[in-house]
Amino acid sequence: MQVELDLAFLEELLSSVAPSGFEAEARQVWKKAALAFADEVWEDTSGNVYAQLNPGKGGKLLLDGHIDEIGLIVTDVDEKGFVYVQGLGGWDPQVLVGQRVRFLGKKGEVFGVVGRKAAHLLKEEDRKRAVRVEDLWVDLGADSREEALAYVEIGTVGVLSAPLRYLHGRRIVSKALDNRIGAFVVLEALRHLRDAGVQAEVTAVASAQEEVSGAGAMAAAFRLRPKQAIVVDVTHCTRIPGVEKKTAGQAELGKGPDLSVGPYLHPEMVRRLRAVAEREGIPYTVSVESSHTRTNADAIALSREGVPTAVVSIPNRYMHSPSEMVDLGDVEHAVRLLALFGLELAEIEGRR
């Protein structure tokens, strides 16, 4: 099976503003792409969007990739027009300083800059202290609270402004690769399954709210009652300075997708994924999750009476920053692995 990625779709998906719980913009991009080929496409009240092939037939494979990204939410505006925020998802506040923000404002997109005292004005003890979110503000260019409130309000959400860039070779850098790249992979795999003539029921879901709760995946698994599930997310690339592979795992950019092994993950699912990869010459690495996976697999595996679940991850550098990095070769290999797995669905016994 040859894989050709729809990069125009990926670029549009990554450019959208869609923090956890407010995924509508990215959801519509994903839905538009799905409507071009899927048999059934729909949304639910949790914020998920689904694309399904062969509804009602056997197999019932769920492919999940969450579509939300970490973001910011307005909590206050002071009398001088400076905007204060909290994180939607897990930010390292050091990353925020000096970044540009895109808010989904009252009159459309609103841009601002994350401000902090310049280094020249900081006291010596402040220079040594780690930055906290409450030390920061967003400057919209407004001169008063009234002026700022004409554009944003308490509860307005936004993300860092960081467009996709192609680097040397086949690597890209962008905001929201965690986990817009997973939502991209599951829909691309579904498209290739359609082209290959899959006969089983396969559903891809771009799920909501993973960065804050996993509620979207929980709702999707409950609704669909899948017999098997594969969650596509990102994992930390361990080929960077200061990271110990013996504790962080073996995932590297350009070495293929990473397969997780652990107590939440069904051994037979992992075995079959590895068998397909080895037979087809798809490179992959293996990482261990000694407890929960911190992905949507944790919710899906425990849905109803339990769902045999696996996690396929794209190695990612600089996670939860506006400059996340992945290798497009790893993305292609992940799409191919999922599609080939979907063509060979077999029943999995309930016991491990």
Residue ranges of domains in the chain: 7-69+175-343, 71-160
Separation of alpha carbons 276 and 187, rounded Å: 20
pLDDT of residue 348: 76
pLDDT of residue 243: 73
Separation of alpha carbons 231 and 20, rounded Å: 18
Query: Residue 316: pLDDT above 70?
Result: yes
> Which is the catalytic residue, given 23, 69, 210, 324?
210
Lowest-confidence pick of 17-21, 238-242, 294-298? 238-242
Query: Residue 125: pLDDT above 80?
Result: no
Encode pLDDT of 143-195 as tens digits: 999 999 999 999 999 999 999 999 988 999 999 999 999 999 999 999 999 99
What's the rounded mean pLDDT across residues 18-27?
Answer: 97
Encode pLDDT of 37-90 as tens digits: 999 999 999 999 999 999 999 889 999 999 999 999 999 999 999 999 999 999
pLDDT of residue 136: 93
Q: How much is the mean pLDDT over the chain?
A: 93
pLDDT of residue 145: 97
**What is the CB neighbour count within 10 angstroms for residue 85?**
26
Query: Residue 282: pLDDT above 80?
Result: yes
Q: Which residue in 319, 338, 320, 336 sits closest to 328, CA to CA? A: 336
320-335 per-residue burial string, b: 16 or more CB within 10 A, e: under 16: bbbebbbbbbbbbbbb
Separation of alpha carbons 134 and 143, rounded Å: 21
Q: In CATH terms, is domain 71-160 a member of 2.40.30.40?
A: yes
pLDDT of residue 283: 97
Catalytic residue flag (residue 210)? yes
Q: What percent of the chain has pLDDT over 90?
A: 83
What is the pTM (predicted TM-score) of this model?
A: 0.94
pLDDT of residue 85: 97
CATH number of 7-69+175-343: 3.40.630.10
pLDDT of residue 291: 83
pLDDT of residue 134: 86
What contacts 150, CB < 8 A, 6 or more positions away? 106, 107, 142
Q: What percent of the chain has pLDDT over 70?
A: 94
Question: Are the beta carbons of 236 and 321 closer than 8 angstroms?
Answer: no
What contacts 337, CB < 8 A, 6 or more positions away? 257, 273, 276, 277, 280, 282, 284, 312
Encode pLDDT of 208-252 as tens digits: 999 999 999 999 999 999 999 999 999 999 877 767 776 667 889
What's the rounded mean pLDDT across residues 118-135?
Answer: 71
Position with higher pLDDT, 127 vs 267: 267
